[in-house]
Amino acid sequence: MDPGDLEDELTCAVCLHVYQDPVALPCQHSFCLKCIEGVWAQTTGPGGFECPQCHQKFNPRPRLERNFTLCNIVEKYNRSQPPADSARVVCDYCDDNPNPAVKTCLNCETSFCSLHLKPHLQNKTLNGHTLMEPLLDLTDRQCLDHKKVLEVYCKDDEECLCGSCIITGKHKSHTLLSLDQAQAVIKEQLEREVKNLWGVQQNCSRKERDLGSSEAEIMTRINELKGKLSKSFSEWRRQLEEDEEYTLKLIDEEGLRTLSQIRNCSEALNKRMEQITLIDGEIQSLVQRDPLSFIQNWKQLLSRVTETQRVTDPDVPALTLNLSNISQLIQKRLNGCEKYHSDILGIIMSASTEYRGHSNIIPAPHSSSGSAPIPGNVLQPSTGISRRARISQGKSLLSLDPKTANWNLILSDDLRSVTWTRQKQPYPHHPERFKHDPQVLCSQSFCSGFHSWDVETDGKCWGIGIVCGSVEREGIKSNIERNYKSWCLYFSTVYSIDFLIALHNSRRTDLPQIPSKSRIQVQLDYEAGIVSFYQVTDSLTYLHTFQTRFTEPVFPAFYCGNKSSLKLLN
């Protein structure tokens, strides 16, 4: 095996160096003992201990078994690697045929083979000399100023010094350490920094796993959404085919009815013309006879002519296709298309609001119907009173209806404020309670007149509007943003960007931005079918108006999403 390949096989996945004191985890991955202990010291959480390579979790902490097989391989590998520069370093005492050096004495600045090294090992006066692996160049271990061996470390200036530097140099009053002491201190510092790097690595690893989970979840949701939409579109196509077949059948039936009338009239006319032709032939034959026969038979023939003239000619009505009845039947049938359109939009809106508490994703804008801008100070045609005057006359004192509040909403004691909560409240089940979205209605409803009320908003996800009393209380269509029985002003913050939109039956109109904490005024003119929204500051700032026709009582309605609150003001 190539030495480089072998080194790759013997590399720790944490420190990226050849193993030192390798240990094995239960998942069979091996690491340096210090490496795995350092990783666990930095990253261990309530989930237990984790393999840095395969991320398998262990709880409790597994026993670290020494990998003897790997230790033997590493030892053989290290022995096979020559010390740096040792292949070029020879003994300075050998004359004719120098032997390879086995040690270099830093004090003597000389390299020795095993034979000439014996005095350093046996002579007590030389026992204090520092022996190193064979070195070819000693200049990097000598003081540049005094050309002497570097022996101590100056902690203040972070540099190595020789004996002369200590005596004559600027380091006399500095903190001096032996090289062994300095190595221990610096090594400890490096280990701390490496541990910090391990923490960064583990943080990146966690984020990468989170991204992987997010990717998988998004793909799952995409496939689920596509499946639901494909099913709805398939049902829509099937219904359209049935509608086409039904429409063509109606036209065929109407055509057969009309053509049958035409044929019946035609047959009656043909019979009458044949009868007249027959009488005419008899008259022509009678005229050719002798006078006596003519006189004897003319009265009878004249009687038949008179009788035939008395018979009324068949009526021929204006025969056309009666398409008005067909149009009504087809219109009634095609009204179902609105259901499919609404269902498909509902599926998309539902998917976008499932993470409303996290991302507040808002679907792409499209045009709004049934709404038109109306200035804030328009004179009412019937009374001539300004709108501002009517506001003061129509101020309504409202209170929230507890039996309609969703389980994720908390109402204040005075029933004037509502706050979102993650923890479900122990409200009893009630047929009027909203079960799908965090919504609540007021106890008061309106079926005539002009009314207005102010709401203080706070948070990143809220909605204010009105709904018909018959609005559904569960399922997708119960949301006040996406059904035809509600008219709503909706605020959301997505990636630090605020969105304000007007919504009716899932159709939206994007509006100018306002602060999340604002005062909103709702104005309702029931007879005129108008509901308008204003931002209240020192003056009223017009936001949006819906124009419609109310056919039943309407209730003030509120959507209070993640970490938001709404308050009715006097």
Closest-CA residue to 524 (of 440, 438, 449, 423): 449
Q: Identify the pLDDT of residue 376.
A: 33
pLDDT recorded at residue 534: 93
pLDDT score, position 356 = 40
Please tell me the predicted confidence (pLDDT) of residue 30.
Answer: 93
Q: Is the dihedral of CA 80, 85, 88, 90 positive or negative?
A: negative
Q: Read off the pLDDT band of 364 (50, 70, 90).
A: very low
The pLDDT of residue 373 = 37
Residues 6+ apart with CB under 8 A from 223: none
| Omega cis (within 30) before 314 | no
Give the pLDDT score at 79: 75
Q: Give the pLDDT band (50/70/90) at residue 544.
A: very high
Buried b (16+ CB within 10 A) or exposed e, 376-385: beeeeeeeee
d(C-alpha 58, C-alpha 413), whole Å: 50
Q: State yes or no: pLDDT of 458 exceeds 90.
A: yes
Report DSSP state, residue 238.
Answer: H
Range 193-211 average pLDDT:
87
For residue 409, pLDDT beyond 60: yes
pLDDT category at 342 given cuts 50, 70, 90 is low
To the nearest 10°, report the CA torsion of 56, 59, 60, 66. -10
CB atoms within 10 A of CB 83: 13
Q: How far apart are CA 128 and CA 411, in angstroms?
A: 85
Nearest Cα neighbor of 319 from 370, 277, 260 is 260
Contacts of 479 (CB under 8 A, 6+ apart): 349, 353, 436, 437, 439, 559
pLDDT over 60 (residue 362): no
**Burial group, residue 162, by CB count within 10 angstroms (0-12, 13-18, 19+):** buried
Least confident of 21-30, 130-139, 335-344, 372-381: 372-381
Contact (CB, 8 A) for 439 and 480: yes
Q: Tell whether the model's pLDDT for residue 40 goes beyond 60.
A: yes
- Backbone region of residue 9 per phi and psi (left: phi > 0; alpha: psi in -120 to 50; beta: other values): alpha
Q: CB–CB of 379/531 below 8 Å?
A: no
Q: Residue 352: what pLDDT?
A: 55
Q: Which residue has the higher pLDDT, 531 or 355?
A: 531
The sheet carrying 22-24 orders its strands as 30-32, 22-24, 65-66
Stretch 39-62: mean pLDDT? 83
User: How is residue 508 written in tokens?
Assistant: 């939206």
pLDDT > 50? residue 355:
no
- What type of residue is 171? H
Give pLDDT, residue 478. 86
Cα 158 from Cα 141, distance rounded (Å): 15
Distance CA 459, CA 518 (A): 10
Is the pLDDT assigned to residue 381 strictly greater than 80?
A: no
Q: How is residue 45 written in tokens?
A: 């959480």
Is it the case that residue 374 has pLDDT exceeding 50?
Answer: no
Tell me, what's the pLDDT at 490?
Answer: 92
Tell me the mean pLDDT in the region 43-53: 80
pLDDT at res. 521: 94
The pLDDT tens digits of the residues spanning 301-311 come to 888 888 888 87
The amino acid at 209: R
Beta carbons of 145 and 165 less than 8 angstroms apart? yes
Chain-centroid distance, C-alpha 449: 42
pLDDT score for 375: 34
- Cα angle 524, 525, 529 (rounded to 5 degrees) comes to 105
CA distances from 401 to 77, 246, 424, 555, 557 (A): 80, 47, 17, 10, 10
Per-residue confidence (pLDDT) for residue 158, from 0 to 100: 87
| Residue 242 tokens, joined | 């049935």
pLDDT in tens, 275-313: 888 888 888 888 888 888 888 888 888 888 888 888 777
Q: Does residue 488 contact residue 557 with C-beta atoms inside 8 Å?
A: yes
Lowest-confidence region among 170-179, 352-361, 400-409:
352-361
Residue percentage of the chain with pLDDT more than 70: 84
Cβ atoms within 10 Å, residue 217? 11
Residue 89 amino acid letter? V
Side-chain half-sphere of 281: how many Cα atoms within 13 Å?
6
Which residues, 6+ apart, have CB-to-CB distance to 321 below 8 Å?
A: 251, 254, 255, 258
The pLDDT of residue 254 is 85
Reference 202, options 32, 26, 374, 40; nearest CA is 40
Contacts 24+ apart (CB under 8 A), 308-312: 308/275, 308/276, 308/279, 311/272
The phi and psi torsions of 276 (rounded to 5 degrees) equal -65, -40
Binning pLDDT at 50, 70 and 90, where does residue 5 land?
A: low
3-class SS of residue 555 = strand
**Of 365, 358, 348, nearest to 495 (Cα)?**
358
Select the more confidently predicted residue: 395 or 432: 432
Instruction: Please list, in sequence order, all residues whose beta carbon lies within 8 angstroms of the beta carbon of residue 519, skipping any fewer than 6 positions away.
Output: 454, 455, 456, 457, 535, 536, 537, 569
Q: Is 459's pLDDT higher than 60?
A: yes
| Crossing angle of the two packed helices 179-287 and 33-43, in degrees rounded to 10 | 60
pLDDT value at 341 more than 70:
no
Helix axes 336-353, 179-287, angle to 10 degrees: 180
For 93-116, the DSSP string reads S--SSPPBPSEEETTTTEEE-TTT
